[in-house]
Copies of this chain bind each other. A is one copy, B any other.
Amino acid sequence: MSNLNRAEQPIGIFDSGIGGLTVVRAIKDLLPKEDLFYLGDTARLPYGNKDRLTIERYSLEIAGLLTAEGAKLVVVACNTASALALPRLHEVFRIPIIGVIESGARAAVAHSRNRRVGVIGTRATVASRAYERAIQTIDPAVTVLSQACPLLVPLIEEGMFDHSVTIEMLHHYLDPLIAERIDTLVLGCTHYPLLKKTIAGVVGDEIVLVDSAENCAGQVVEVLRDGGLENRAERPGYLEVALTDSSNPFFKTADRVLELNISRVQTRIVQGVTLAATPVVP
């Protein structure tokens, strides 16, 4: 395929579920002409408390589905999959694949004055130390303080954006980071931008929040430009959304809050082996 034809192909974006729609929102804002195909692996979410092998396997399968949709570039709109599966994805696929960690790390280093950066994310993201490595590759003098926040995703998925329970959990997770005098906090999970206002209220004006969705979208712009892959169509791009399971109650909340106006959701099955096709007769 020539680069000109490839430029007309969609950008593939995936997440373990719905949170990656924050990245879709950011990409649409910066690249209104690009067609976007979003795939949320809602049948197997969340990824954030699972192991590296599982997360790599799932990410390969989902990225495979996106290449089958003709994606010219894949965005891993999930911090957990970016932290644990990006090297393996680069090994397997030849199209550009962009995660959310690197751009978030760059933004954090750029914003921090006192070189004390906090990172919040899922257990798997925090345990991987991916942000720490990425930040210290840019500036080894930065101290990174990480905190796994496993309850934030369920609270966000319940739409409890400013519930007293959410604020109490935020204090539980963030007060120790504030006490360590961070001046920059990376929202290291694509769900968290939905909680940005509440987090800002808890940490105060002195701490800059780094939104990995926004920074990732900026990196997509660069990669498309450098590769000559920008869609030059004279019309607004479409957004197609597919999920691997049909019943995610959080989808409507995210669609509304992010003002994406998604009219139709397709289903893609990521099939497991059919062991059960051979029932054992006792």
A107: interface (CB < 8 Å):
no
A280: interface (CB < 8 Å):
yes
A271: interface (CB < 8 Å):
yes
Which residue of B has the minimal Cβ distance to A96?
A: B282
Set of chain B residues within 8 Å of A63, measured between Cβ atoms: 276
Q: B51 and A245: CB pair below 8 A?
A: yes
- In the bound complex, how far is the Cα of B92 from the Cα of A51, in angstroms? 31
Q: B49 and A54: CB pair below 8 A?
A: no
Interface residue total, chain A, C-beta cutoff 8 A: 55
A94: interface (CB < 8 Å):
yes
A129: interface (CB < 8 Å):
no
Set of chain B residues within 8 Å of A244, measured between Cβ atoms: 54
Other A-B pairs beyond A61-B275, A151-B154, 5, CB < 8 Å: A42-B50, A43-B44, A49-B249, A51-B247, A68-B280
Given the interface pairs A61-B272, A272-B58, A273-B61, the reply to whether A246 lies near B51 with Cβ below 8 Å is yes
A67: interface (CB < 8 Å):
yes
A218: interface (CB < 8 Å):
no
Q: A93 and B273: CB pair below 8 A?
A: no
User: How far, in Å, is A192 (CB) from chain B's closest CB?
Assistant: 16
Of residues 221 to 280 in A, which have CB atoms within 8 Å of B's CB atoms? 244-249, 270-280
A28: interface (CB < 8 Å):
no
Set of chain B residues within 8 Å of A95, measured between Cβ atoms: 280, 282
Kindly supply a per-residue 1/0 record for chain A positions 28-58, scoring 1 wherever the CB is within 8 Å of any chain B CB and 0 otherwise: 0000000000000011100001110110011
Set of chain B residues within 8 Å of A54, measured between Cβ atoms: 43, 244-245
Set of chain B residues within 8 Å of A49, measured between Cβ atoms: 157, 247-249
Q: B61 and A276: CB pair below 8 A?
A: yes
Kindly supply a per-residue 1/0 record for chain A positions 165-208, scoring 1 wherever the CB is within 8 Å of any chain B CB and 0 otherwise: 10011000000000000000000000000000000000000000
Set of chain B residues within 8 Å of A162, measured between Cβ atoms: none
Kindly supply a per-residue 1/0 record for chain A positions 58-92, scoring 1 wherever the CB is within 8 Å of any chain B CB and 0 otherwise: 10110111011000100000000000000000001
- In the bound complex, how far is the Cα of B43 from the Cα of A273, in angstroms? 14
Of residues 4 to 29 in A, which have CB atoms within 8 Å of B's CB atoms? 6
